[in-house]
Amino acid sequence: MRKFMNELYNAINAKNLSIRSLAKETGVSKSALCEGLSGKTEMKLESFLAIIEKVYENRNERKQKINEFILLCEKDLNVRKALGYCQCTGEYSIMQKIIDKKLGNIQEGKLGDSDEKEDYKRINKYLSIYDLYNKRNNRKLTGQELLDELDAKNFSNNQECQVILNILYGLAMYDIPNYRAMTVFSAKIESHLNKVENEFIKICLEMQYKERMAYLKLLENDIENCRDVCKNILESKFDFPIIKASALCCLGESYMLGNGYDILKAEKYLKEAIKILEGSGVSKDSKKYFAFKTTLAFLYIEYGYNLDKIDFDYIDIGELAYYECKFGDRSRGLEIFHKLQEEGKLTAIRLYYLSRIKDDILLMKDSLEKFEKNGNLYYVQLVKDALLKEGVK
């Protein structure tokens, strides 16, 4: 860390920046700056972020320096901040390196003095829960499997841990899907979030909570409030690109259906969301990237336009089958649907696709029932509109 901070100090001097001016511009005290830059103490992550913004103009260079700093952090509080920050910025590989490094040291007994051992004891409860979070980020653990893992383990009653835990429960319910249950966990998140003491950690968790709330409002078909939450995220001063990408995706999705639907506006927001993910270096294997691409593919398939822009490398099997039946190899599409049916994987949306392909009113009603049971009132409109076109009220 000392060598790294010395390099930062040299970069500050090279730009002819004074410690006094940096302190004034960033709100970081002069003494904290001097001690951190000299390596006497480990600088707070939020202080480092404020300074790096003034020293490096290039976004990619800033990102590299931030990741280097994060991986050098040893203090319990800074590691917790780093985990929350990585979740908000989509730095899933950096998050995993933190987790693997710290858990590895604990498991292998590579601990130094008694203070270091105490730090590791305190941080362990956060590492285990973020490890599950990152497995969900990378599509290694979702839905019922994630729910089973959460139920099987004991987690700290610490407010911070409880916020993350309930976010994960909500995400598992989103995957299953059981959207009605998400409301319960959202209420729990809010009650614990208000009691989180560290301001930076609270901000990170708050942004994740808002991200969940935007989607919850969408599923409740509360479009006005959904868009308000999305816009609140987008107008935030915090540089959390992945949260903002989610807000753009949710905003785009809110224009796909209903009376005020606007497919061009939906497409615009969805493409902006994907562009942010790609510009931030988020893995194309991540759940978020896959979901955004699939949502855009749904828009193109449902409304039958820009079919040549569909990225078939990142599309859910249900949307692929729908595309094949509508515009490609119908027999292949039906074969995929048949396999999904045999495996018990005909979700509400897949039932809708199949009902449209087969022009089957009963399947359409089954889809409607599933959407209503799951609490997905936004997509209920999709099926109701299709039924009305078939003359069914």
CA distance 350 to 68: 44
CB neighbours of residue 9 within 10 Å: 18
Is 159 in contact with 188 (CB distance < 8 Å)?
A: no
Secondary structure letter of residue 109 according to DSSP: T
Rg over CA atoms, the chain: 23
Tokens of 383: 């099926």
Task: State the CATH architecture for 1-72.
Answer: Orthogonal Bundle (1.10)
Beta carbons within 10 angstroms of residue 121's beta carbon: 12
267, two tokens: 């497409």
Task: Say how far apart CA 314 and CA 328 lie, in whole Å.
Answer: 17
In a 13 Å sphere around the CA of 79, the CA atoms on its Cβ side amount to 24
Handedness of CA 102, 134, 289, 256 (dihedral sign): negative
Closest of 80, 101, 85 to residue 160, by C-alpha: 80
pLDDT digits (tens, 9 = 90+) for 57-78: 999 999 999 999 999 999 999 9
d(CA 263, CA 269) in angstroms, rounded, equals 10
Q: What is the pLDDT of residue 376?
A: 97
Q: Kindly provide the residue ranges of all beta strands, DSSP E only, lying in 25-123, ordered along the sequence.
A: none
Q: pTM for the complete prediction?
A: 0.93
The backbone region for 240, taken as left when phi is positive above 0, alpha when psi lies in -120 to 50, beta otherwise, is beta
pLDDT (tens, 9 = 90+) of the chain, 393 residues, equals: 999 999 999 999 999 989 999 999 999 999 999 999 998 999 999 999 999 999 999 999 999 999 999 999 999 999 999 999 999 999 999 999 999 998 876 565 555 555 666 666 778 999 999 999 999 999 999 999 999 999 999 999 999 999 999 999 999 999 999 999 999 999 999 999 999 999 999 999 999 999 999 999 999 999 999 999 999 999 999 989 999 999 999 999 999 999 889 999 999 999 999 999 999 999 999 999 999 999 999 999 999 999 999 999 999 999 999 999 999 999 999 999 999 999 999 999 999 999 999 999 999 999 999 999 999 999 999 999 999 998 887
* Cβ-Cβ contacts under 8 Å for 293 (sequence gap 6 or more): 274, 311, 314, 315
How is residue 225 written in tokens?
Answer: 């409030």
DSSP 238: S
Q: How far apart are CA 82 and CA 90, in angstroms?
A: 12
CA 368 to chain centroid: 28
Asked whether the bond before 177 is cis by omega within 30 degrees of 0, the reply is: yes
| Residue spans per domain, the chain | 1-72, 77-220, 233-311, 316-393
Q: What's the chain's average pLDDT?
A: 94
Place of tokens 């336009």: 305
Q: Are 72 and 262 in contact (CB under 8 A)?
A: no
What 8-state DSSP symbol labels residue 158? -
Please state, in angstroms and rounded to a whole number, the distance separating the CA atoms of residues 60 and 53: 11
